Amino acid sequence: MQHSGQRNVIVTRHYFKARERLAEYQKQIDEKFELFRRDPLHQSLRFHEYDRARYKNWWSYRVNNDIRTVVSDQQDCWVVCYVDHHDDAEEWIKRHRFTLDMLNGSYSFAPPAAEVVEAVVEPPESATVYRCPLSGYTPDQIMRLGVPNRDWAEVFTQATEERFEQLLAQALSEGWFPEEVIERLFDLASSAKSYRELLPPQVSILLPSELFRRRPRDFWTPESEQEIRRAITSGWQEWVIFLHPAQRAAVERDVQGAIRIGGGAGTGKTVVAAHRTAWLAARYPDQPILLTTFTRVLAENLKQRVEQIIGSLKGTPVEVVHLHSLAYRLFTRSLGRTEAPLESTPEHDELNELLAEAIRRSGASFDLKFVRPEWETIIDAWNIRDLKSYLDTERIGRKMPLQRSQRENLWPVFEQMWRLLEERRKVTYSTICYSVAEYLERHPEARYRCVVVDEAQDFGPAELTLIRALAPDDKENALFLCADSRQRIYRPAIPWTRFNIDTRGRSYILRVNYRTTRQIQDFAESVLPSTVEDVQGEESRALADRPIALMHGVAPEVRGYENIPAEMRGLKEWIYRCLQENIQPGEIAIFARGKFLAEVEQLLKEVFQERGVRYRKLGRDAQPVPHELNYGTAHGAKGLEFRAVAVVGVTTSNFPNHAVIKDVSDAAELQAKENQERQLLYTVCTRAREKLYVSWSPTTRRSAFVKVRSA
């Protein structure tokens, strides 16, 4: 390892985040960082101690006439902490002190508590007494949880519930304490875990550099100039390949039985799925490991993440693939069904045509709009092939009840539908999944050693049956599922226990939102329904596990316009503001439904003509690229993330979508459909990391899901 002035050079997350905000200076910042690492005494750096700071050990070096990089002197290493314009860098130094706890391996960037928190005043006897969630603990006990500053430990023991939550949010936003320390305090206050369970092991580290190496999520030690250049070239991705300790605990769980990882949008479930796959590959190096998910785009993203961790998957037994693609491949190869090409799986319009023909053949007078949901949610989903099964089946996934006589009258339609599919050599994906599952039951040697599933909340009965069959029943670590019930946008809720997937007692909830700002999270959560059905049937728990947002930012822009042209002009202005703020085209996405997608495409043509910025429609085979604006459907946003997201056309006819609910007469079914539409809007809004823009037109047609008044 090379040293800077005979010392190690360590880099903090604070520095990476600050560097991202200075896009136009990044080349100079990176060049001076490399120079500092080689020779901190180089004359051009003017490296010196900041002697006016209230807290010692702060140094800085010069990037150019205006930009300064802040460095902390920590005994055996230089810690590169921050970079900003001269005055802002000085202000950052004034607001931060860097404290290490060499006993438990923790650290703090927090200023003295007295500068942040007003002194606690004893309330008069007549005043309302507010609960202090940590009042039963001493400052010493709080310090043992990883808070290295006694003044802050005292504040936490005295803070009221409301103030305590505010302080945790501020500490996360400012990066004052490690994220796992904030989580410990949160879990202690909410009684999620006992104090003894939360105590970290004592490590007794002797040198600061060793502490930093043990915390790769928070600190990075570049090993060579080649490694630095590689990080710069790849965009200095923010610790994608490192895990927060809570995430690592989830990844490395070693148990018998299925494991579920839950958590709201932005809590890192996809990262955990990728790391779990890598962990399993190392644990079972010669055995087949499967990582699968709901969409092709997300499957490709997952593959890239796994390869970033362990290298190319070529020649390895690790497979990352979209579940329906895997099912079709196994269906054609293992079952010898080569006569059914992929295009013979009926899509939307063809399915309508087949169902209409089945109604005609049966001589029934049912409406297609009534028959199709019954086919998709009950008959095809549960592979019902005879009347007795139809009469006996529970209507899981469909809120609308049907009497026995109604089912008897309907059955001839579905009997004809199965015959039509066979005559025309068509096959549904549900049929494929069930067929492959049956094959695997007969040939257990064809199973994978371990199966990891991301976005598992969107899989229906056929897919869950296949997932259970793909993994062995009798081996440890066989099945690992990541799911967030709030983001269920394709299928109704179905209890996993119906498929012998029981994760009760083996569920792990991720509590910290790393992606979206608190402001975006608050807005997105405001559109959710009052209850969300969980995969194990626990409605209240699904919304109770609210994540703590790591970042703070600007409030979402929520605007109504008099007509569509005015709304598109507003969208164009927003795009141009994003570009002026150095948000790259590939970091911007616009999502819409129905006719608004055509309006967006026309607008992006104007943007190209005026600014020369290209654009692309997101889809199965079209993922974001750095220099093109992105646009697509609301459902197409699934699994993606961008610095800035616009959701346009958020009207009463688009959220909820008129086509989805117009023919639903049953009140319970209507409510379920509307709840799913709310979850779709939540999912789209949480694709944004920093900026969210929501609009509609005309102003009188704002979706009832949006409670915020237009500006």
SS (H, E, C) 266-320: CCCHHHHHHHHHHHHHHHCCCCCEEEEECCHHHHHHHHHHHHHHHCCCCCCCEEE
Among the candidates 524, 544, 564, a domain finishes at: 544
Angle at 255 between CA 250 and CA 257, to 5 degrees: 105
Are 325 and 435 in the same domain? yes
- What pLDDT was estimated at residue 229? 64
| Residue indicated by tokens 């799911």 | 483
Can you tell me the distance from the alpha carbon of 57 to that of 78, in angstroms, rounded to the nearest whole number? Answer: 10
pLDDT of 94-132, one tens digit each?
A: 889 999 988 878 899 999 898 887 644 444 454 445 678
Which residue in 288, 547, 573 sits closest to 440, CA to CA?
A: 288
- Residue 438 domain-assigned (yes or no): yes
- What pLDDT was estimated at residue 660? 84
Helix (H, G, I), strand (E, B) or coil at 90: helix
- Residue 239 domain-assigned (yes or no): no
- Residue 228 domain-assigned (yes or no): yes
Are 290 and 148 in the same domain? no
342: pLDDT strictly greater than 60: no
Mean pLDDT value across residues 419-447: 93
- Residues constituting the chain: 711
Which residue in 131, 129, 134 sits closest to 189, CA to CA?
A: 134
Q: How confident is the model at residue 571 (pLDDT cuts 50, 70, 90)?
A: very high
Are 539 and 613 in the same domain? no
Are 502 and 407 in the same domain? no
Among the candidates 544, 569, 595, a domain finishes at: 544
Are 681 and 608 in the same domain? yes
Higher-confidence residue of 421 and 349: namely 421
We report the CATH number of the domain holding residue 19 as 3.30.2310.20
- What pLDDT was estimated at residue 711? 44
Contacts of 438 (CB under 8 A, 6+ apart): 469
Are 80 and 177 in the same domain? no
- Which DSSP symbol is given to 570? H
Are 666 and 563 in the same domain? yes
Are 461 and 505 in the same domain? yes
pLDDT of 629-677, one tens digit each?
A: 999 999 989 888 899 999 999 999 999 998 888 777 778 888 888 999 9
- Which DSSP symbol is given to 119? P
Task: Enter the tokens of residue 443.
Answer: 């040939």
556: pLDDT strictly greater than 70: yes
Q: CB–CB of 568/606 below 8 Å?
A: no
Among the candidates 426, 447, 468, a domain finishes at: 426
- What pLDDT was estimated at residue 232? 59
Domain enclosing residue 75, as ranges: 8-97+214-233
Burial class, 250, CB count within 10 angstroms (exposed 0-12 / middle 13-18 / buried 19+): buried
487: pLDDT strictly greater than 80: yes
| Residue indicated by tokens 């903090």 | 12
Are 478 and 528 in the same domain? yes
Mean pLDDT value across residues 508-533: 88
- What pLDDT was estimated at residue 128? 47
537: pLDDT strictly greater than 70: no
Mean pLDDT value across residues 487-507: 88
| Helix, strand, coil fractions of the chain, as percent rounded to 5 | 45, 15, 40
Helix (H, G, I), strand (E, B) or coil at 105: coil
175: pLDDT strictly greater than 60: yes
Contacts of 419 (CB under 8 A, 6+ apart): none
Contacts of 486 (CB under 8 A, 6+ apart): 264, 265, 528, 532, 542, 543, 679, 682, 683
304: pLDDT strictly greater than 50: yes
- Residue 573 domain-assigned (yes or no): yes
Helix (H, G, I), strand (E, B) or coil at 67: strand
- Residue 522 domain-assigned (yes or no): yes
Which residue in 618, 657, 621 sits closest to 640, CA to CA?
A: 618
Mean pLDDT value across residues 210-230: 75
Q: CB–CB of 241/308 below 8 Å?
A: yes
pLDDT of 606-618, one tens digit each?
A: 999 999 999 999 8
Q: CB–CB of 520/692 below 8 Å?
A: yes
pLDDT of 230-272, one tens digit each?
A: 665 555 454 445 677 778 888 999 989 999 999 889 888 998 9
| Residue indicated by tokens 């059955």 | 411
Higher-confidence residue of 594 and 73: namely 73
* Number of structural domains the chain divides into: 5
Mean pLDDT value across residues 19-28: 88
- Residue 120 domain-assigned (yes or no): yes
Higher-confidence residue of 412 and 494: namely 412
- The percent of residues in the chain predicted with pLDDT above 90, rounded, is 54
Are 256 and 325 in the same domain? yes
502: pLDDT strictly greater than 70: yes
- Residue 240 domain-assigned (yes or no): no
Are 409 and 513 in the same domain? no
- Residue 2 domain-assigned (yes or no): no
We report the CATH number of the domain holding residue 579 as 3.40.50.300
Burial class, 464, CB count within 10 angstroms (exposed 0-12 / middle 13-18 / buried 19+): buried
Are 418 and 435 in the same domain? no
| Residue indicated by tokens 């202005």 | 573
Question: Whole-prediction pTM value?
Answer: 0.78
- What pLDDT was estimated at residue 504? 85
